Amino acid sequence: MYFPDFASIFMCKSKRLAFYSKITGLFLFLSTSLLNIHAQVGITPIPAKKAEGPDKMAMYYFEQKEYDKANVYFAELYDQNAFAWYSYYYKSLLGAKEYSKAEKITKKQLKLSKLDVYLYVNLGHIYKLMDDPKKEKESYEKAIKDLHPVQPYIENLATAFKEENLFEYALQVYDKAKRTSPDYPYFYERAEVFKAKNDLTSMVNEYLDALEFRDSELQTVQMQLQNSLGYDDEQGGIKNPLLKQELQKRIQKHPDKVVLSEFLIFIQKQQGDFDGAFVQSKALDKRLAEDGQRVYELGKICMSNKQWETAQRCFDYIVQKGPSNIYYDAALIDNLNTKYQAVTQKSQPSKEELLLLEHELNQANEKYKGNFMNVNILKNLAYLKAFYLNKSEEAIVLLSDFVSQPGIEPLIKSEYKILLADINLVSGEIWEASLLYSQVEKDFKYEAIGQEAKFRNAKLSFYAGDFAWAKTQADVLKGATTKLIANDALDLSLVITDAIGVDTNDAPLKLFSSAELLILQHKYSEAIVRMDSINILYSTNTLGDDIYYKKAQIYSTLGKFTDAEAAYRNILEYYPNDLYADDSQFKLAELYENSLKDKEKAKQTYEELLTKYPGSIYTVEARKRFRELRGDNLNN
């Protein structure tokens, strides 16, 4: 057996490496020498030109719009692969105004693929550029005549016409396709063409045709209108009155077509026509012998939109169906809640309204006592008695009985303990209120309701004039998980710091805090008098913006909107960098938008907040409302 001499092999390899090393060194020496010579005589080495294929050269010149140069390469490429290069060659020939060549290759392409009739549109475009309208028209008509009614060819041809803004021909394509495929009548495609033509009436009717064709198209039609046209576009979207008008015409012609009525209800909800939606919903409920579900759901939507009267009409309709109806109890309770909201959100509800509401809530409270459905009734009744009818003792008895009952879910019990504490507070039972707040804080220490209770305890100390303790608690709550509580705590801490500061005189702040308690007790006139006395007694106080802000809130509550406007404007003029400056800017914009109904001023005021107070917590909401008032489509 042969064993190689590894030592000799290694030596030979070493010699070979040494030899190669010498050759490489010589080559490097010669290369360096030549470069040095070139440098000395001023000769620069010429790099090898990178090879470029005709496809890359063609596309390079095409993108540079040097069409004559591009066509030299495209001609070769087209001969090699007509299907791959026709489109580019066609466009490049048009760019170079070589219309005859473009006509020639388009005709050739048609022979290669007779089913691609969209090429006739290209041919027609060429004749248009050649100023030959007769041939142009013949080409378009030939395209439609020779169309093979299969989906890809239909779409290719229709798209080609739409790209040339030849909308009537595109509609003819869909008409032919509809005749050959009755199961898919191309309503949505035709609607898009009418939209491009700005023919809104025809567009709307295409969607309505789709509804009449098949009931199951309802959601698709709704989605198409919202997504492609825009919810807020009053000229072309859901809010366009034309849509409702055309729909009502169809309902008159086809009253038994339920899907049309359902679509009208959807449109009325989107347009804020809740009365109309109620009429249609009630009519459908009766016609179809339903259980009132659609009317009840509409009532809930009306509540969320603060359409109290229409909501009551919805719930009254359900209640009239009698106790055997599945929605009877829920409608009865929601109806009472609606009446409560409608009365208490008035700036100055009458005594008669308040007493009538109390009577109805008392009756419901007796009817549903011990029932889980009684929770909201009891809450509204207690609040009404305590804060509107000066019957705090009755409210305290009601709530005390409720929270002492066994088996109540802990979170619900805590919510009612907070309300009970609030009522004790306004009744002057400070320590009883503090005890209840502390119980909730202890039971839910790390949850939002526990932090809310802790903050109310801090406010209680503030009302009582114990500012050091109130600030200590507020400082702790600056890191609360709930942003609203954290902001309120920060505001409370800053108010105390700013009002007292280096001056230990807390007399102005005591007057201010007692005025806040009067506001909580709905004693608005007394609160205003007390706040005004601060400036009279203590002219150097630092509570100017705080006083104006609280007065603005009182005026808004009382419906004195011009007084509220003046108070907010005083803050922005005299205290533009103080605590409530950005709050006042936002609240003023809201006042213009919702109460004074001045959309232009509202838009301007929202915009000013974005520029003056970019770091405000209100910037996101202000930007959204500004865009809504400007008419932006926020769905895009």
Of the pLDDT bands very low, low, confident and very high (cuts 50, 70, 90), residue 442 is very high
CA neighbor of 170 nearest in space, from 201, 147, 136, 204: 147
Query: What is the domain count for the chain?
Result: 3
Q: How far is CA 459 from CA 372, 392, 411, 434, 495, in A?
A: 32, 20, 22, 10, 12
- Global pTM reads 0.71
Reduced to 3 states (helix: H, G, I; strand: E, B; else coil), residue 572 is: helix
pLDDT of residue 236: 46
Whether residue 609 sits in one domain with residue 532: no
Q: Where is the domain boundary, 479, 511, 542?
A: 542
Domain boundary among 521, 542, 563: 542
395 and 430 in a single domain? The answer is: no
| CATH number of the domain within which 583 lies | 1.25.40.10
Instruction: Select from 408, 429, 452 the last residue of a domain.
Output: 408
Sorted by sequence, the CB contacts under 8 Å of residue 552 that are 6+ apart come out as 563, 564, 567, 568, 571, 584, 587
* Predicted local confidence at residue 633, as pLDDT: 57
pLDDT at 222 over 80: yes
Q: Are residues 535 and 556 in the same domain?
A: no
Same-domain pairing of 538 and 552: no
Is a pLDDT exceeding 60 seen at residue 454? yes
Give which of 59, 83, 81, 53 is closest to 71, Cα–Cα.
59
Give me the domain span that covers residue 464: 421-542
Q: How are the residues of the chain apportioned to helix, strand and coil, as percentages rounded to the nearest 5?
A: 75, 0, 25
Determine the Cα–Cα distance for residues 565 and 20; give it in Å rounded to an integer.
Answer: 94
581 and 636 share one domain? yes
In a domain, 531, yes or no: yes
The region that residue 371 occupies, defined by phi over 0 for left and psi between -120 and 50 for alpha, beta otherwise, is beta
pLDDT digits (tens, 9 = 90+) for 473-508: 999 998 877 888 998 999 899 999 988 865 567 899
Mean pLDDT of the chain: 87
Residue 49 CB contacts under 8 Å (≥ 6 apart), including other chains: none
Residue 535 and residue 448 in one domain: yes
564-620 tens-digit pLDDT:
999 999 999 999 999 899 999 999 999 999 999 999 999 999 999 999 999 998 999
Residue 20 has pLDDT above 70, yes or no: no
> Do residues 614 and 516 share a domain?
no
Q: ∠249-255-258 over CA atoms, to 5°?
A: 105
Residue 521 lies in a domain: yes
- Give the pLDDT of residue 590: 95
The pLDDT tens digits of the residues spanning 153-174 come to 999 999 999 999 999 999 999 9
Are 445 and 512 part of one and the same domain? yes
Judge whether 117 lies within some domain: no
Give the integer Cα–Cα distance in Å for 592 and 572. Answer: 15
CA nearest neighbour of 553 among 574, 578, 526, 584: 584
Residue 266 lies in a domain: no
**Residue 200 to residue 237: CA distance in whole angstroms:** 10
Q: Examine the pLDDT at 278 and tell me if it is beyond 60.
A: yes
388 with 489, same domain: the answer is: no
The pLDDT score that the predictor gives to residue 180 is 85
Task: Give the pLDDT band of residue 270 (cuts 50, 70, 90).
Answer: confident
Burial (CB count within 10 angstroms: exposed 0-12, middle 13-18, buried 19+), residue 354: middle
What is the arithmetic mean of pLDDT over 282-310? 95
* Domain presence at residue 444: yes
In a domain, 414, yes or no: no
- Residue 47 scores a pLDDT above 50: no
Instruction: Look at residue 592 and tell me if it is in a domain.
Output: yes
Least confident of 31-45, 133-147, 529-543, 620-634: 31-45
Using only C-alpha atoms, what is the Rg of the chain? Answer: 40
Same domain, 425 and 538: yes
pLDDT at position 461 over 60: yes
Asked, for residue 290, whether it belongs to a domain, the answer is no
Asked if residue 569 and residue 536 are part of one domain, the reply reads no
- Do 555 and 613 lie in a common domain? yes
